[in-house]
Amino acid sequence: MSMSRKWSRDRRCTGSGFSLVDLLATCAVIATVSAIAVPAITNSIEGQRLGMETRAVERELQIARLSAVQSNQPIRVRFNCPATGQYKRVELLGTVNTPAADDSDSRAGVRCAYPYPSTDRDPLTRPNNDGPKMTLNPKVTFSQVQTLEFWPNGTVHVASGSNPWPLIGSTPVTLTLTKGTSTKSITVNSLGKIQLQ
């Protein structure tokens, strides 16, 4: 008996390998698991993106507070400025009692358009502590925001229409970011404590 005949006969007899039914059953199991897992993974990724954007806003608030203390100048964080989904840290040009014209809410777009870094490097002319214009992921929006003002003593004040802006009351200010049906919040109290919710 030749070697090739013996090998082919042994192969037929062992019955090893996959049949078409085995292959189709495996494909069906993989398809079922994928159909269940893909939406969960997608929701997880979307939640992570919203979390990243929320942490970026929280970080900018922390930097604004530290900049106000370090520079001994009030710093505002303006949201949806100069456009929807953008935010910027801006130094108060006037004083808390008599803000400059560009500090007013009606001129917020002009103020948010100031270049970063400043073209004027003279430390005696302001602003010296503006931050870069930050932009949210296009699918993330601010659904509830207020302009916050961080003072050099670390306290936080909120826009009210009168000067100086009043200290945040006993109820913290809540900033809400939304992506689809998911929301994340940041709370800021009067002492400058910033927390992710």
Provide the strand spans (E) within 69-181. Answer: 75-79, 86-91, 134-135, 141-144, 148-150, 156-158, 173-179
Asked whether the beta carbons of 197 and 186 are under 8 A apart, the reply is yes
- pLDDT of 81 > 70? The answer is yes
Q: What percent of the chain has pLDDT over 90?
A: 34
pLDDT at 5: 57
Any idea where the domains of the chain sit in the sequence? 32-196
pLDDT at 107: 67
Q: Which one is predicted more confidently, 106 or 83?
A: 83
**pLDDT (average), residues 70-85:** 88
| Cβ-Cβ contacts under 8 Å for 132 (sequence gap 6 or more) | 88, 116
Q: Are strands 134-135 and 86-91 parallel, antiparallel or unpaired?
A: antiparallel
- pLDDT of 100 > 60? The answer is yes
Overall residue count recorded for the chain in this entry: 197
Q: Does 3.20.20.70 match the CATH number of domain 32-196?
A: no
pLDDT at 1: 52
Q: Has this prediction a pTM greater than 0.85?
A: no
**Mean per-residue pLDDT over the chain, rounded:** 82
